[in-house]
Homo-oligomer: A and B are copies of this chain.
Amino acid sequence: MNAPTKNKFSARDFTSDLTPVWCPGCGDFHVLMSTTKALAELGTPPEDIAVISGIGCSSRIPAYTDCYGFHGVHGRSLALATGLKVASPGLTVLAMSGDGDGFSIGGNHFIHACRRNIDITYIVMDNRVYGMTKGQPSPTTEPDWDSALSPGGTGLSPFHPLVIALASGANFVARSFSGDIKNTTKIIVEAVKHPGFSFVQILSPCVTFRPDEKDWKNTVHPASVEETDDPARAARRIMTDDGMNTGILYRGNRAPYKPQVTGKGVETIELERQFEI
């Protein structure tokens, strides 16, 4: 690994030359910008960073960065990221995906990654829809959102990712809006710096299937309360907020998971003694 050198990078150093497949106006463009800005600010060279994703429009992001990347299968970004971070603790590992990838098919890995509290950062680009498969409701979709698969809406109350993250043990919980590049960048920087599992929900409009979300720029607002390190307090606040509160909402002190890689590094031959009789 190469020692991090602060501030010698610009966002451009973390951006690849591949043209995104995203629709013009898609919020994910802004997430890409904020992420590369944040990485530049953090100052870790791109070769010491890995961006891991699942499947979805949002999950296309790794190849648009100039870091190492893994575009895995649907829903499993956190498992890939966990294995990578445990085996290569020197890397900065970001998992980035969407609300379908992360909260629907990937929901189990989400709660267990929070609990495991490994030092990775998880960014979910939440557009409250399955964009890539052309507009089905996701766990965060409003109950009355009409679609071909659920005419008239699902009738289900939306999934609260931040509450679940807190309840499951995440060590850093924040919400941001993709259009607010300045604050999103800041939050990502803090999330990566914070030890343990950091979770950032970024409200990122799908202009194609949820044109109504273009209005988010008018409805998001900074959280009115200070960040806290008390999970119960944070939970209470988030549970009663309107889902549009942005900012760092919880910053915990739980020690990150230390896998037992600290072994003695003995030779294989020593292991074999146990079988001798």
Contact = CB atoms under 8 A, between A and B. Distances in A.
Given A169-B157, A257-B155, A164 B236 contact: no
A163 B231 CA distance: 12
B159 A164 contact: no
Nearest to A165: B167
Contact of A111 (B111, B115, B169, B258): B111
Given A155-B257, A164-B167, A111 B107 contact: yes
Interface residues of A, number: 31
A87 interface: no
A166 B236 CA distance: 12
A198 to B, nearest CB: 16
Contact of A115 (B105, B156, B232): B156
Contacts of A168: 159, 164
Contacts of A257: 155-156
Interface of chain A, main secondary structure: helix
Contact of A107 (B112, B117, B155, B239): B112
Contacts of A108: 105-108
A235 interface: yes
B239 A231 contact: yes
A115 B254 contact: no
Interface string A153-179: 001110110011011110000000000
Given A108-B108, A167-B167, A168-B164, A159 B115 contact: yes
A116 B104 CA distance: 12
A112 B158 CA distance: 10
A43 to B, nearest CB: 30
A107 B103 CA distance: 12
A139 B108 CA distance: 12
A123 B108 CA distance: 19
A240 interface: yes
Interface string A102-145: 00111110011001110000000000000000000001000000
Interface of A: 104-108, 111-112, 115-117, 139, 155-157, 159-160, 163-164, 166-169, 231-232, 235-236, 239-240, 254, 257-258
